[in-house]
Structure 1
Amino acid sequence: MPQLLALTLLSIVLVCVGGCWTIPQRHVSDVGAAIPAEWGANREISRPAPQHWVETFDDPNLSALVQSALANNYDLKAAATRLDAAIAQARIDGSGLFPQIFFTSDHQQVQVREAGFGSARFGVFDAIFSLSWELDVWGRIRDVRQAALLEAGAVASDLNGARLSLAARIAQSYFELTEARLQSEVAEQSVKDRRTIVQLVRGRFARGITNALDLRLALTDLATAEAELSEARNQIQLINRRLEVLLGRYPAGRLTEASTLPEPPSGLPSGLPSELLERRPDLVAAFDRLVAADSRVQSAKKLLLPRIVLTAAGGTRSTALTDLVDPRALAWNVVIGMMQPLFTGGRIRGEIQLNEARAEEALNLYKSTALNAFREVEQVLAADEWLREQEKALRQAVEQTEASRKLAVYSYQLGMIEILTLLDSYRSTLNAQSAHISVKRQLLNNRINLFLALGGGV
């Protein structure tokens, strides 16, 4: 005991000489910029984002696909194994807090030769216990364990982010597949309309009312429409197979899509900017890694302090196996010692500088991640307004082009317009219908991007 007391007093003196280190007090709001009270692109009363945002689209088929992907996607399963590995690493890093006890047993055959006395052979049995335990007086090992636990928490946040991202990709691909089907239907109708034009022009050509050029132009336009239909059908199978891979299924191209694109969920949830810092998985992960880096800096600095280690060993050795359990044959020793680094060639100082640089890197990465998160929310909120105006304008364009197309057919039959004007009216109708379908899908994608940017749950 006097020796242990002397070692402890000496260590306290060394701590006082070396100085006292404290971990920086971090806060999630330290993002390098002022956080506004509300989103600049959304002047409405902020509402929190729903926890189960997939259900807000009111599509049971979509909800089933998302749940299937969360259960079967292989990239997500790989992310889950990374979490298992991080938890195991935290257990490894924290194991130094506990005594390390080992048991060794062996048997040796020994032969002794002596001149004039012959030789003797006998067996020796060993049963040895050993113990090693570093007393974590300064909390160095606890700092390492805390860092590992925070890093495991960051990996868990990464997993939540992967789940959210996968759900968003499934929903966007699902609506993209529906759009491709609708675009294919528009292209099919366009082919039918072009065939009607060809029949009209061919009839007029047979009666000598029009020339061969008009017929050639109509046939060219029909061929172009047929090519566009083939491209639309190809898009269906491409998106279908890509979605099946996300679901963890063989890409057979057998998924069914919705018949129409739904309206975006009512209301525009956004919450408050400050809530984003504790809600988005990537921000939570970045902050945990920052605090973990701080803990590793502290642990590296404490390598300069003395380490107090308790070691013990004991066991028995006998030529008879039954004697190993005889307590009278037990021998043991216990040693407590202190190791103070004096010269390590700059290794400890280098490790401190390395961890300080990593902590500074983690701080800047956190600030960058936070600012990008705010940007994503702001631009998605702003895009919603412009996309709605675009959808309204395209809806009116579809109505106008359909009316002008009917008028163009009537005018061509009366010989009031050229074939190019007629064909242009059909192309305008096709382009307006296609653009209108596309912007409706973009509205849905933008809403999904909002849920993704806000870090909603699934």
Structure 2
Amino acid sequence: MSKKTSISALLTALLLDACSDTPERHSTDVGGSVPSHWSTASGPKGPVAEQWLGDFNDPALSRLVREALYGNYDLKAAAARVKAAREQSLIEGSARWPQLFFITDVNREKDFETAESGSFDALFNLSWELDVWGRIRAAQRAAEQEADATQADFDGARLSLAARTAQTYFELAEARQQADVAAQSIRDRQTIVELVRGRFARGLTRGLDLRLALTDLANAEAQLAQARNQAQNSTKQLELLLGRYPGGLLKENSNLPAPPAAIPAGLPSELLERRPDIIAAFARLRAMDYRVESAKKALLPRITLTANGGTSSPALTDLADPRAAAWNFALGLVQPLFTGGRLKGDIRLNEALTDEALNRYRGTALNAFREVEQALAAERWLREQEQALKEAVEQTEASRKLAVYSYRQGLIEILTLLDSYRSTLNAQSAYLTVRRQLLSNRINLYLALGGGI
């Protein structure tokens, strides 16, 4: 084979390799079949709600979420990243256009034998790489996809902020109600202490009973302090989300609302086009496809157009005279032949990063399916737990009243009476906790489904 034929074959191979198109991608390609329905869904059928915040029917909650979306600094930083990514895509695409620069200069000279002289220069320089193969365009598309991914990140951060604000609001409501329950328990225990103290004064009971009643009262006071501390911490966390100074001064009246009715969960395939994190992962995969295309097309010849010229004259008025202008145009072609493996290495690097992006996308999608299935399953179990604890609260209330009567009659020991009070407090506390968990899980479900606010 002649040397000329070998070079021709090499150039042909480079051309065929570099001109390959980006692969066609589908969002449903998650490494396995997408199920037709959720395995744990038992609610109504239909599309996912676009605005879930109003389902809680809590004006204070809606107001605080709106304030967080406006004032949270992390969200503002995410919005700035979107702007930066959009500008980066414009920068990537700017190479497709001619680059023109205008230069002016004034030169002054003087020596011992001649008079002072000078000249005025008006020069320009133009360079333009003709994007014949679409290399620059592929890089621009990659940047545009990355900007789309950053926008999806922002959308996800916005939903996450709304969810965290709502969940912190519910935690604050629970902590305040836990404090109310503990305060009521202290009042009840104070009544018991007085009852035991009176019986002890009359010689109807032992000093041990009084000590046990006072110990139980101290424990209840410790629980109240813990609940108030939790309320203070939740208040500061909520203020931070709102963009306020965390001084613990938030005074909005917060109560645990009734859990909304069951919601439609939509279809698993719809999740792939609705969840921001999945959309972002897919956009980054497409960006890497374009990066590979741009790297391959870097093997092809680059055609550049350059021009420079201008005028130079001792008189400033002569600069506007087109007859004094000098022009120079050049058309060049550059074909990479040997770069020490840099161009091929860049292709392999971007192909490896593409494979990473593909597996990240599939992992993100599968994790999203898990979050939905988990939240749907938890909804059912938490509702059953709520009903059981509600019954437990009613039963402990009845047993506590009966225990007080029996102790007054001398039918039971003090430990039985105190245990009935502890059971009542524990049941009420557990009931508030499961109600908050049910609300938080509903938020998790909305977030997992990619529902709007």
DSSP 3-state at the match of 1:108:
strand
Root mean square deviation, CA, Å? 1.7
| Separation in 2, partners of 1:176, 1:290 | 38
| Separation in 1, partners of 2:380, 2:96 | 57
The question of 1:304 aligning with 2:291 is answered: no
Aligned partners of 2:101 and 2:125 also within 8 Å = yes
Deviations 1:421-443 (A, max 9, x none): 11111000000000001101111
Residue segments in structure 1 that go unaligned for 5+ positions in a row: 1-8
What is aligned with 1:48? 47
Residue segments in structure 2 that go unaligned for 5+ positions in a row: 1-7
The question of 1:244 aligning with 2:239 is answered: yes
What is the 5 A alignment of 1:160-199?
160-199=155-194
Structure 1 pair 450–18 and aligned structure 2 pair: CA distance change class (3 A):
closer
Aligned partners of 2:51 and 2:451 also within 8 Å = yes
TM-score by length of 2: 0.95
What is aligned with 1:3? none
Aligned partners of 1:147 and 1:295 also within 8 Å = yes
What is aligned with 1:274? 269
Shift, 1:43, TM fit: 3.8
| Separation in 2, partners of 1:150, 1:16 | 26
Shift, 1:109, TM fit: 1.7
DSSP 3-state at the match of 1:129:
strand
| Separation in 1, partners of 2:70, 2:250 | 17
| Separation in 2, partners of 1:153, 1:31 | 20
What is the 5 A alignment of 1:15-164?
16=15, 18=17, 20-112=19-111, 118-164=113-159
Deviations 1:280-329 (A, max 9, x none): 00000000000000000010011110000000111001121111111111
What is aligned with 2:410? 415
Residue identity over aligned pairs, in percent, reads 63
Aligned partners of 1:133 and 1:310 also within 8 Å = yes
What is the 5 A alignment of 1:308-319?
308-319=303-314
Aligned partners of 2:19 and 2:296 also within 8 Å = no
DSSP 3-state at the match of 1:119:
coil
Question: In the alignment, residue 147 of structure 1 is paired with which amino acid?
Answer: A
Question: In the alignment, residue 425 of structure 1 is paired with which amino acid?
Answer: S
Aligned partners of 2:43 and 2:262 also within 8 Å = no
| Separation in 2, partners of 1:264, 1:208 | 52
The question of 1:214 aligning with 2:209 is answered: yes
Aligned partners of 2:153 and 2:276 also within 8 Å = yes
Question: In the alignment, residue 382 of structure 1 is paired with which amino acid?
Answer: A
Shift, 1:12, TM fit: 9.0
| Separation in 2, partners of 1:356, 1:259 | 53
TM-score by length of 1: 0.94
Deviations 1:180-227 (A, max 9, x none): 111011000110011011101101111111111111111111111111
Deviations 1:389-439 (A, max 9, x none): 000000000011111111111111111111111111100000000000110
Aligned partners of 1:310 and 1:337 also within 8 Å = yes
What is aligned with 2:430? 435
Aligned partners of 2:43 and 2:265 also within 8 Å = no
What is aligned with 1:373? 368
| Separation in 2, partners of 1:134, 1:259 | 63
Shift, 1:158, TM fit: 0.5
Q: 1:203 aligns with which of 188, 193, 198?
A: 198
DSSP 3-state at the match of 1:314:
strand
| Separation in 1, partners of 2:299, 2:111 | 51
| Separation in 1, partners of 2:246, 2:442 | 27
DSSP 3-state at the match of 1:21:
coil
DSSP 3-state at the match of 1:260:
coil
Shift, 1:110, TM fit: 2.2
The question of 1:406 aligning with 2:405 is answered: no
Shift, 1:49, TM fit: 1.8
| Separation in 2, partners of 1:321, 1:350 | 53
Structure 1 pair 337–82 and aligned structure 2 pair: CA distance change class (3 A):
same
DSSP 3-state at the match of 1:342:
coil
| Most deviating of 274-283 and 121-130 | 121-130
| Separation in 2, partners of 1:320, 1:353 | 58
Q: 1:230 aligns with which of 225, 231, 237?
A: 225
